[in-house]
Structure 1
Amino acid sequence: MTASPAYTVDVRRLEAFSAVDLYAMLKMRVDVFVVEQSCPYPELDGRDPDCQHLRLLDGKDLLACARLWRPVADAHPRIGRVAVSPDHRGKRLGEALMREAITACERLYPNEAIALSAQSHLMHFYEAFGFSPTSEEYLEDGIPHVDMLRPPSPGNA
């Protein structure tokens, strides 16, 4: 089992990023979701300004990122755009990223269930963090997905 590298956690709104840091995060998301997955879709979907963006960093090096947001006042907070840099895979950063994203959501949106739309092949990965499927499988941008929900943590409910 490979140990997780040391990292720092950074959570901020879009307007708080430097141009260089914003470019690095958006480039990584495009590299993972559009290029690597051969999935031409609108990565820049207009939602980023309404989100908190979580990054795992090793110094200035971007290891992983996720988007945290509440789409509308009566909807569950969501974790999305979960991505680990291809240069840093195999270091258990996916697990670290999800732990940090859940912690940040619980801080930002206490006593709330957390939603996400999981690529179907990753459903068991998210189940390990307490998420359960809430939909049948569906295609999103040509990739099978399933909606999932995690109830509030007992200490956070």
Structure 2
Amino acid sequence: MTESISAERILITVGNSMMGDDGAGPLLATLCREQPVAGWTVIEGGTMPEDCLHQVRKIKPKQVVVVDAADFGEKPGEIRFIESDTINDMFMVSTHSLPLNFLIDELKTFIPDVTFVGIQPAIVAFYAPLTDMVKDAVEQIHYALSDWQQYATFEHC
């Protein structure tokens, strides 16, 4: 028996927990499993987040937030809302099979509200630990999910 999921808001976490700060997305997914946030359905995208497109398409949410490590040249642990057209111009932590802008652009074809949130990594290396700055940023995002509309409009980064 297949369970049908219905959600207004989906959080897609992206990253590889074996690659230091690229594990920000997987850590956020773990936090959301351990401490669920009302109103959010979490999909772990891992290193191939485009593979979850069919799930999102089936659920038809009104809002999707994608969280991943992104090198935008700021201090480690900084959080930024990044436009999809900017993703191509940035060096993105690339442990993924396809560029992240592919996922964002595709989501925008059928979801009215898509947001990409990047966390500046300090270290992305095989078997490196997640840094405290990035852990703190993940916790901040997890906490903010309960009042996301206000968080997303507040200049916090």
Does TM-score exceed 0.5, indicating one fold?
no
More strand by share: 1
- Asked which structure has the greater RCO (Cα within 8 Å, sep 6+), the reply is 2
